[in-house]
Structures are given as structure tokens and as C-alpha cells.
Amino acid sequence: MGVITLKIDDELEKRLRVRVGQIYGAKRGSISASVEEAIRTWLLKVSTVKQEPRLFVAIKQNKRVAEAPNLAALSKKLAQLNVDPRDVIIETRPLPPLVVRMGLRTRSAGE
């Protein structure tokens, strides 16, 4: 069995101990069981997130000028078309998702 040492905020530790005591009871290994469950849940969520391929699109005067799967290829296409990259708007399709966070969040000691 692996051993991981963690440092967490004091307030978070208090809340964790209280909640674990309510769910698992005050028996030995309760905190480990709850942390294992949290890690399993997180790993399941992370492994099921599908990353859609992005398409970079250069738009000039509301018209698509070029598109490519990455910025380097888009740059080459714009150079071939003699289009200055500063004259276009570059968008990604599909748009990157908003930041999705899962898990425990704490404030650093300086906040």
C-alpha cells in the first residue's frame, strides 16, 4: 500500500475530520477511506473527459481566410496566402471549455 503525505489548510482539516466522523465514524482508517474515495471519484471524472480536437480559424473582415489544426500550420497557410497575421482574428473551434475544477479548494496562508 502506498503512502502519500499531504499538507492541507487547518480549517479544511477540521471540516474533513468532522465530516469523516459523521460518515465513517471515529474508527482507525476513516480519513484514508474518505481520501481514497475522493481520489477514485476524481480519477473517474478525469478519465471520462473527452478532449475535442481544436481547429484554429483565421478570420479577416468576417470571412474565413484559413484554418488549421494547430497554430504553426495556420501560420504557414497565412504566409502562403500573403496574409499578415496581425490583420486577422484567430479563433478556436470548438471553443475551449471554461475551467472546470473538481476537488478540494483552499486558500493559501497569505490570503
What is the pLDDT averaged over residues 20-30? 88
Could you tell me if 66 and 84 lie in one domain? yes
Output the CA torsion sign for 100, 2, 30, 17.
negative
The residue among 3, 1, 20, 2 whose CA lies nearest residue 104 is 20
Average pLDDT over all residues of the chain:
84
The answer to whether residue 100 is domain-embedded is no
Distances in Å between the Cα of 43 and the Cα atoms of 32, 40, 69, 79 are: 16, 5, 28, 43
Residue 40 lies in a domain: yes
- Domain-located, residue 29: yes
73 lies in a domain? yes
Within-domain flag for 111:
no
99 part of a folded domain: no
Does residue 28 come out as left (phi exceeding 0), alpha (psi in the -120 to 50 range) or beta? beta
Within a 10 A sphere around the Cβ of 83, how many other Cβ atoms? Answer: 15
User: What is the span of the domain harbouring residue 63?
Assistant: 55-93
Q: What is the pLDDT of residue 110?
A: 56
If asked whether residues 66 and 83 sit together in one domain, one would say: yes
pTM of the predicted structure, to 2 decimals: 0.43
Q: Is 59 found in the same domain as 44?
A: no
Rounded CA gap, 74 and 65, in Å? Answer: 10
Evaluate whether residue 1 is within a structural domain. no
pLDDT digits (tens, 9 = 90+) for 53-72: 789 999 999 999 999 999 99
Domain count, the chain: 2
